[in-house]
Amino acid sequence: AAGVIQSPRHLIKEKRETATLKCYPIPRHDTVYWYQQGPGQDPQFLISFYEKMQSDKGSIPDRFSAQQFSDYHSELNMSSLELGDSALYFCASSEGLAGERETQYFGPGTRLLVL
Partner 1 sequence: AQKVTQAQTEISVVEKEDVTLDCVYETRDTTYYLFWYKQPPSGELVFLIRRNSFDEQNEISGRYSWNFQKSTSSFNFTITASQVVDSAVYFCALSEGSGGSNYKLTFGKGTLLTVNP
Residue numbers at the binding site for partner 1 (CB under 8 A):
31, 33, 35, 41-45, 48, 50-51, 55-56, 58, 88, 90, 92, 94, 101-109, 111
At 1 the three-state DSSP class reads coil
Residue nearer to partner 1 on the CB measure, 7 or 80: 7
CB 51 within 8 A of CB 11: no
Rounded least distance, CB 94 to partner 1, Å: 7
Other beta carbons within 10 angstroms of residue 61's beta carbon come to 14
DSSP H or E stretch at residue 89: strand 87-95
How many CA atoms, within 13 angstroms, populate the side-chain half-sphere of residue 40? Answer: 0
Residue nearer to partner 1 on the CB measure, 14 or 40: 40
Residue nearer to partner 1 on the CB measure, 79 or 106: 106
Rounded least distance, CB 19 to partner 1, Å: 18
b (16+ CB within 10 A) / e for 28-57: ebbbbbbbbeeeeeebeebbbbbeeeeeee
Residue nearer to partner 1 on the CB measure, 44 or 86: 44
Rounded least distance, CB 22 to partner 1, Å: 17
Rounded least distance, CB 16 to partner 1, Å: 27
